[in-house]
Amino acid sequence: MAISAWTPLLVALICVWISGAEVDAQVPGPRTRYQPNWASLDQRPLPQWYDDAKVGIFLHYGVYSVPSFGSEWFWTNWKNLRNPEYIQFMQRNYKPDFTYQEFASQFTAELFNATKWALLFKDSGARYVVLTSKHHDGFTLWPSKNSYGWNSMDVGPKRDIVKELAAAIRKESDLRFGLYYSLFEWFNPLWTDDKLHLLMQQHFVERKVRPEQMELVQQYLPEIIWSDGDWEAPAKYWRSEEFIAWLYNDSPVRDTVVTNDRWGFGTACMHGDFYNCADRFNPGVLQAHKWENAFTLDRTSWGQRFDVSLADFMTSKEVIKEIITTVSCNGNVLINVGPTKFGTILPIFEERLRDMGRWLKFNGEGIYGSVPWIYQNDTITGNVWYTRQKEASNGKITVHAFVLEYPYDTNELDIYPLGKDINIFRNVMLTGIDMGTGGEILNEQSTEVVMLGMEDTKIKWTADHNRLHIVFPPKNHIDKRGLDYAWTFKITIT
């Protein structure tokens, strides 16, 4: 039987199989008042824009960008953990009584150009940006009323970095703007005093955290609140549920804002619009709840550092692979770069982002707005991953097959987009309706195969029941188009 006859059942089956993956992508209905508890907050549908966006840029920028050594945890590694490498670094390069606070005056950002950043992120193919408004050292990139003398307006750049970047992003692109905010601060006296009192008092939350959170949302209208530092205290101490309820109910971004899962220990992978679970989280299997893979182009540090070699940076091919494998499993990627103290982005970071942008220009159709296919990767042919176009209109199903390794030896490839044994067909038959097994599902009448970026070139292919044999166009033609890192075949079944 032709596939058009059983397409409605196939579509219905797909919806059942991946309903968990798509339930969070529903469009919010009439406004609901959410209560300040997880049971209520977890019922909020994920705003559609985030699920469609897939790709974001993360920026770790702050006083730690001045020493540019080790990582953004420089201060605590030096003073709390007494790491010998950090101690030796300071002894070799700074006077004996030098303090971390003195780095702030050297955090000059004299070459920071928010418009250049915004245009680069636009060219990268990203759809949202998240800036660290305040990391664990407590230094804020905006003139916080509750961080006197320890913010980017009072010392260092003498500029409102958050405001400038938010304005440039919104003027130069359609990207969504978001803010990272660390709940705790290593050496803030209010925080350390609350810890001494076993968190039975909340002076740090009342006088620092909550006023700054409200200030950021009301002044800069971020559509992502990326919370961090959740491991230090429970969500009840941070009053996280109260803040998120305000975000969802009454904030100026209540209809579009999304939150992650770092709101107190025990909340990771449990609560929030999307889950981070852990840094560089990429499980490689389908996740029912929307999630995000936040990873660094510098493999070990989120902040800028100069004690680095070429091998420490992800290659463009590795970045593309991370995007594909993440999106195939219902995730977004948040790709981190660490700007320099001068306000520039190193050429190696720029190269990676521009390579990503060129790849997405050709292959983004299979990434943006996609949803998981019933199979995330091909279990017969390795290094092949799948996504599906959201719409199955006019009786069509469109699957994208991403080939991560080029078949140089043969220039040909076998893939199994319907599974090893066409499990879809067998499961449809389990409904008790005999759909017939006489005809081939993949045939010239029902199936179209196109290589993205080579749409004007007819792709040679044959099918044998569940196996799709594809012949790549000549490699020199592919290279001439600038197609690299991964190759995408669009398979449309009618």
The pLDDT assigned to 419 comes to 85
Q: Are residues 249 and 178 in the same domain?
A: yes
Q: Are residues 87 and 131 in the same domain?
A: yes
The pLDDT assigned to 446 comes to 84
The pLDDT assigned to 494 comes to 83
Of 465 and 326, more confident = 326
The pLDDT assigned to 433 comes to 26
Quote the radius of gyration of the chain (alpha carbons, Å). Answer: 25
CATH number at residue 218: 3.20.20.80
The verdict on residue 9 lying in a domain is no
Q: Are residues 264 and 403 in the same domain?
A: no
Q: Are residues 392 and 458 in the same domain?
A: yes
The verdict on residue 27 lying in a domain is no
Task: Supply the pTM of this predicted model.
Answer: 0.91
Q: How far is Cα 212 from Cα 195, in angstroms, rounded to an integer?
A: 20
User: In the structure, what pLDDT confidence band is assigned to residue 26 with cuts at 50, 70 and 90?
Assistant: very low
List pLDDT tens digits, range 280-289.
Answer: 999 999 999 9
List pLDDT tens digits, range 222-232.
Answer: 999 999 999 99
Domain housing 424: 370-493
User: In the structure, what pLDDT confidence band is assigned to residue 30 with cuts at 50, 70 and 90?
Assistant: low
Q: Are residues 81 and 139 in the same domain?
A: yes
Residue 279 has pLDDT above 90, yes or no: yes
The pLDDT assigned to 24 comes to 42
Q: Are residues 292 and 379 in the same domain?
A: no
The verdict on residue 17 lying in a domain is no
Average pLDDT, integer, range 310-318: 98
Q: Are residues 47 and 130 in the same domain?
A: yes
Q: What percent of the chain has pLDDT over 90?
A: 85
Domain termination residue (choose one: 365, 380, 399)? 365
Angle at 224 between CA 223 and CA 227, to 5 degrees: 145
The pLDDT assigned to 174 comes to 97
The pLDDT assigned to 12 comes to 42
Q: Are residues 283 and 386 in the same domain?
A: no
Residue 40 has pLDDT above 70, yes or no: yes
The pLDDT assigned to 390 comes to 85
Residue 259 has pLDDT above 60, yes or no: yes
Average pLDDT, integer, range 344-372: 98
Q: Are residues 146 and 170 in the same domain?
A: yes
CATH number at residue 489: 2.60.40.1180
The pLDDT assigned to 421 comes to 67
User: In the structure, what pLDDT confidence band is assigned to residue 18 with cuts at 50, 70 and 90?
Assistant: very low
List pLDDT tens digits, range 122-169.
Answer: 999 999 999 999 999 999 999 999 999 999 999 999 999 999 999 999
Q: Are residues 46 and 170 in the same domain?
A: yes
The pLDDT assigned to 435 comes to 33
Lowest pLDDT segment from 24-28, 302-306, 319-323, 441-445? 24-28
User: In the structure, what pLDDT confidence band is assigned to residue 29 with cuts at 50, 70 and 90?
Assistant: low
Q: Are residues 309 and 377 in the same domain?
A: no
User: In the structure, what pLDDT confidence band is assigned to residue 466 with cuts at 50, 70 and 90?
Assistant: confident
The pLDDT assigned to 439 comes to 52
The verdict on residue 26 lying in a domain is no
User: In the structure, what pLDDT confidence band is assigned to residue 393 with cuts at 50, 70 and 90?
Assistant: low
The verdict on residue 31 lying in a domain is no
User: In the structure, what pLDDT confidence band is assigned to residue 465 with cuts at 50, 70 and 90?
Assistant: confident
The verdict on residue 469 lying in a domain is yes
Looking at the structure of the chain, the number of domains it has is: 2
Question: What mean pLDDT is reported for the chain?
Answer: 91
The verdict on residue 32 lying in a domain is no
The pLDDT assigned to 438 comes to 44
The verdict on residue 8 lying in a domain is no
Domain termination residue (choose one: 365, 380, 403)? 365
Q: Are residues 220 and 309 in the same domain?
A: yes
Of 81 and 3, more confident = 81
Residue 41 has pLDDT above 80, yes or no: yes
Domain termination residue (choose one: 365, 393, 428)? 365
